[in-house]
Structure 1
Amino acid sequence: MERVKKQKSISKIFAMYIVAFCIAAILLVLFYSASFIIGIQTGYILPANYYEQKIEKQRKTIEQTEDVKDLIPQECKYAVYDLNGNMLQGNVSEAKALDMWNIVQSDSRSSGKYFYKVIQRDNGICVVEYILNASFANPILHRYVENFEIVFYVFLFSSIAIEIIIFSKAFKRRVVKEMKILKDTTENIQMENLDFKIEYSNIVEINDVLSALDKMKLELKEALAKQWNMEETRREQIAALTHDIKTPLTIIKGNSELLGELDLKPDETEFNNNILNEIKNMESYIKSLIEIMKSEKECILEKRQINLMKFIDEIVEQGTLISINKQLKFKSEVKDIPECILVDEELLKRSIINVISNAVDYCPIDGEILFSVNCKDGNIEFIIEDSGRGFTKEELNCATEEFFQGDKSRASKNHYGMGLYITKKLIEKNNGNIYLDNSEKLGGAKVILKILV
């Protein structure tokens, strides 16, 4: 039995990360606090009132000793004054000594971060300036880091900042991991790969979306199956229809040809010729239907590297032969093309020749067809232009649709509105696209076949 994943809402997961972050932050504070206490107990760190206590211990000695230099901690400033405020000895400048005298005379015992001890002496006083903050016991460290508390808070808040980064990245990885399931699902549906089982995540909100996608996948699969069945049925019906039409058509054609061998009256001969012409049109129609079935039939692409210039020469040769009957000028232009391309050569050739055949049919006698090839924006462009009437606005939008026939002056009885539709189907099998326009050079139609290099 498949194990059911335990689901949580995104808000609950976020709350869990917040709680975990708070616990980790508290542990960090406790760790640094414990380290601070241990440092004080082992003597590596001096407590904030260390110098204050040391001065108090030396108070009586300072009161009675003439020279107090060795009794004052080196880290403290001091000055000994007479009753008139004149400095007798000390380790400060006269200006600093005057400031210290004025501070204590105003009955103040602090100024900014500094604190002052006043020790009464015979015929004078001793004023000691010190700072109330923890510091390193090591003289070298104390010289560079006077206030240990700054280091303590820098390390503490830096650690918390690192913790924030770690937890935010962990939360991001968790969400991205769960979102990947959603991304993979949408990509499969986009590619119409619908025979997969949706894998659900651990997040409720994502699972809600996945459930909706699963329903959509099943409905899409059913719709595509129906569409495929309809297309298959249509193809079978067309194939059956063409087969059924060919038999009576062959009989009619045979009988009509036999009638043509008899001695008929002029009007009877004309009627018989009309019958034969329409039979030819019907045969062309059936041939077009067969071509459409071939173009829609699933086939395995046989892509291979071909020499592009050699391929173009073959197209030009075949296009020239097709154009001879209508005395058309078939020209070609080639520029900036790669030596080789990877394509299904047969499908590509059928696509191009089909467009050239259409151009020949729609071009007036003594007209012109231009076949050009170039490479632009990573695509090979095969462009066929003619000097005919060109496309109408409606034809530009609909000419590649099945059975579309626009203006009859543009339509050909040999194609029944399927020439460009077949070309579109063939070029799409080669991962290409067809674009319609009107030619500025020749004034007629312009068809562009693009294939990604």
Structure 2
Amino acid sequence: MQHLRKQLSRHFYRIMLFSILATILTWVIGLLLFQLIYQNKTLNPANYYESQIPELVEFVNEQEDVLNPDNQAVLEERIPLEGIDYQIVDTDGVMQYGSMQDRYIASREDVLTELNNNIYDGDQIVIYYPITDNEQHLQGAVGFRYELSVMSSNAESQPVLLSLFIFFLLVPFVYIYLFTYTIGKRWAKRMEEPFNEIITGARKIENQDLNFTIRNNSNIKELHQLIAAFDKMKTALKEALEKQWSLEEDRREMVAAVAHDLKTPLTIIQGHAEGILESNQELIERNRQYIETIIFNCQRSIRLIQELNDVSSYEKTEFHLEVEPTDVEALIQSKIKEYQQLCDTQEIRLQTSIHYSDGKHDLFYLDSFRINQMLDNILTNCLRYTPEQGVITWDTYIAEEELKIVIMDSGPGFSKQNKKQLFKKFFREDKARNSADGHSGLGLFIAKVIVEKHQGEISADNHPEGGAVFTVIIRNVKSKM
């Protein structure tokens, strides 16, 4: 187990050491190969042209009237111009001819003092030799310019030699890159394992799966501590969530139990009160009002208990729809007849329409009982807030993949600050849509849950002309079965 900083330093030193050793080995092998080639006379030595100069001087002195430019062609046939430049000057240092145009001797004194002396022109060497006649009288001088290097001695192989030189120059950097890539890749792979463990664990937590363990095999101290901290967080989160889930389950069971226990005596009270009202015995007016109040509040309590039961069942993870093929038009028509009577009773006009987007379709797959319940909750809400002589408009659009329902009332609509909270549990509107029946605030929440169970969407807004508008989209869940 080491700190990240120490491991980085160790890997850096390893890269540099391996690169240096590999570079030295490559250079040694290159020198051995170069020496082998040289011994086989595949390459000319660095003094290849310098060694020819004595013979060239002798050849020049053998020529008659060598200062005459007519001898230039004869000399250039003998002198290897690819590696040596030459120049013929007289005793006054005046150039007569040659391939070397630069003047290194400018006077008789220079001719006498610079003979057989090396003159350096950068990397090149210039040397002048005397030209004499048969009686050894000085006639002038011949100068040669050449370079002492393997590169210049092998003009035809210069591209290959230059490439090799560049290669050997870049060898250290190549090895640094290769060892950095190799060692870095291995080290990165070892570092990826703990990060992958953390990423996988985070995804499992996102999916509410806390029954997993994290391998902590990292030899980097910081990563080891990170994984250990993540594992502790997962364990603490698991304990907290299990406690929360347990409390939530207890709450649901309590709500269901209380609702069940309350429903029976309230139903009995309602039944007895209705029985008294329906009896032939005459009741004084006050007793009748009392009994009607009892029945009304029993109905409210039973409805609230039923909604609590529905909420409890919908929140359970094991809850599922009872999907079946359904004739949507028949379902809607039946609901329209049911609410037409209720609207007539309250002197509210109900306007309905059913549209097919592209002709009639096969049966639509949905949970008809839950869709009925959803429609009841929305329509009851509209009835509750629509005044007498008001209008409820109900348009239905049936397509192959979805069912769209738009229901609008002519009531007061929703307040702006509450539109986003309409579908929250136990939410009740303010005075703009308040009623005397003390509704529970669960109806629209239950409607939203039912729609979402059908992979659909529900929204509520205010119509520009006044009133509330509910838009519901139900998906055909046939492909989900």
**TM-score, shorter chain, exceeding 0.5:** yes
TM-superposed CA distance for 1:117, in Å, is: 3.5
RMSD after superposition: 4.4
* TM-score, structure 2 as length reference: 0.73
2:428 aligned with 1:405: yes
Identify the residue that residue 43 of structure 1 maps to in structure 2. 37
**Residues 351/243 of structure 1: CA separation in 2 closer, same or farther (3 Å cut):** closer
Q: Is the CA contact (8 Å cut-off) linking 1:335 and 1:373 kept in structure 2?
A: yes
Of 89, 101, 113, which aligns to 1:82?
89
Q: CA separation in 2, counterparts of 1:415 and 1:154?
A: 84
**Residues 75/223 of structure 1: CA separation in 2 closer, same or farther (3 Å cut):** same
2:350 aligned with 1:328: yes
- Residue type of the alignment partner of 2:200: D
Q: Is the CA contact (8 Å cut-off) linking 1:182 and 1:206 kept in structure 2?
A: no
**Residues 109/400 of structure 1: CA separation in 2 closer, same or farther (3 Å cut):** farther
**Residues 210/165 of structure 1: CA separation in 2 closer, same or farther (3 Å cut):** closer
Q: Is the CA contact (8 Å cut-off) linking 1:80 and 1:127 kept in structure 2?
A: yes
TM-superposed CA distance for 1:190, in Å, is: 2.1
Q: Is the CA contact (8 Å cut-off) linking 2:23 and 2:175 kept in structure 1?
A: no
What CA deviation, in whole Å up to 9, does each residue of 1:322-347 have, x standing for no partner? 542313223466769xx999986569
Identify the residue that residue 99 of structure 1 maps to in structure 2. 102
Of 3, 7, 15, which aligns to 2:9?
15
Q: CA separation in 2, counterparts of 1:250 and 1:347?
A: 23
Q: CA separation in 1, counterparts of 2:398 and 2:188?
A: 47
Q: CA separation in 2, counterparts of 1:423 and 1:136?
A: 96
**Residues 181/362 of structure 1: CA separation in 2 closer, same or farther (3 Å cut):** same
2:412 aligned with 1:395: no
Q: CA separation in 2, counterparts of 1:351 and 1:133?
A: 98
Identify the residue that residue 463 of structure 2 maps to in structure 1. 439
TM-superposed CA distance for 1:419, in Å, is: 0.9
Of 167, 192, 201, which aligns to 1:176?
192
Q: Is the CA contact (8 Å cut-off) linking 1:355 and 1:384 kept in structure 2?
A: no
**Residues 79/323 of structure 1: CA separation in 2 closer, same or farther (3 Å cut):** farther
Q: Which runs of 5+ in 2 are unaligned?
A: 61-73, 132-139, 344-348
**3-state SS of 1:289 partner:** helix
Q: Which runs of 5+ in 1 are unaligned?
A: 1-6
**Residues 274/178 of structure 1: CA separation in 2 closer, same or farther (3 Å cut):** closer
**3-state SS of 1:98 partner:** coil
What CA deviation, in whole Å up to 9, does each residue of 1:105-150 have, x standing for no partner? 79984445x412314132312222326364796x754357657423
**3-state SS of 2:146 partner:** strand
**Residues 342/190 of structure 1: CA separation in 2 closer, same or farther (3 Å cut):** farther
Q: CA separation in 1, counterparts of 2:37 and 2:430?
A: 103
Identify the residue that residue 220 of structure 1 maps to in structure 2. 237
**3-state SS of 1:43 partner:** helix
- Residue type of the alignment partner of 2:29: S
Q: CA separation in 2, counterparts of 1:353 and 1:210?
A: 51
Of 264, 274, 282, which aligns to 1:247?
264
Of 273, 289, 292, which aligns to 2:292?
273
**3-state SS of 1:120 partner:** strand
- TM alignment of 1:212-361, pairs within 5 A: 212-260=229-277, 261=279, 262-299=281-318, 301=320, 313=329, 316-324=332-340, 325-326=342-343, 327-331=349-353, 345=367, 349=371, 352-353=374-375, 356-361=378-383
Q: CA separation in 2, counterparts of 1:341 and 1:99?
A: 104
TM-superposed CA distance for 1:193, in Å, is: 0.9
**3-state SS of 1:390 partner:** coil
What CA deviation, in whole Å up to 9, does each residue of 1:241-276 have, x standing for no partner? 223223332332233233221211233323322222
**Residues 356/332 of structure 1: CA separation in 2 closer, same or farther (3 Å cut):** farther
Q: CA separation in 2, counterparts of 1:177 and 1:341?
A: 52
Q: Is the CA contact (8 Å cut-off) linking 1:371 and 1:384 kept in structure 2?
A: yes
**Residues 443/243 of structure 1: CA separation in 2 closer, same or farther (3 Å cut):** closer
Q: CA separation in 1, counterparts of 2:327 and 2:151?
A: 87
Q: Is the CA contact (8 Å cut-off) linking 1:319 and 1:330 kept in structure 2?
A: no
**3-state SS of 2:216 partner:** coil
Q: CA separation in 2, counterparts of 1:79 and 1:124?
A: 10
- Residue type of the alignment partner of 1:257: E
**Residues 289/38 of structure 1: CA separation in 2 closer, same or farther (3 Å cut):** same
Aligned length: 432
TM-superposed CA distance for 1:416, in Å, is: 1.4
**Residues 355/278 of structure 1: CA separation in 2 closer, same or farther (3 Å cut):** closer
Identify the residue that residue 65 of structure 1 maps to in structure 2. 59
What CA deviation, in whole Å up to 9, does each residue of 1:187-237 have, x standing for no partner? 122222111112224132223222222222222222222222222222222
Of 8, 14, 23, which aligns to 1:29?
23
Q: CA separation in 2, counterparts of 1:347 and 1:127?
A: 112
**Residues 132/373 of structure 1: CA separation in 2 closer, same or farther (3 Å cut):** farther
- Residue type of the alignment partner of 2:290: F
Indicate the larger mover: 15-24 or 359-368.
359-368
Q: Is the CA contact (8 Å cut-off) linking 2:407 and 2:470 kept in structure 1?
A: yes
2:442 aligned with 1:418: yes
- TM alignment of 1:136-147, pairs within 5 A: 141-142=157-158
Indicate the larger mover: 344-353 or 103-112.
103-112
Q: Is the CA contact (8 Å cut-off) linking 2:44 and 2:153 kept in structure 1?
A: no
2:144 aligned with 1:127: yes
Q: CA separation in 2, counterparts of 1:136 and 1:19?
A: 41
Q: CA separation in 1, counterparts of 2:148 and 2:463?
A: 91
- Residue type of the alignment partner of 2:32: I
TM-superposed CA distance for 1:182, in Å, is: 1.6
Q: CA separation in 2, counterparts of 1:22 and 1:230?
A: 61
- Residue type of the alignment partner of 2:129: Q
Identify the residue that residue 49 of structure 2 maps to in structure 1. 55
Of 116, 119, 125, which aligns to 2:125?
116
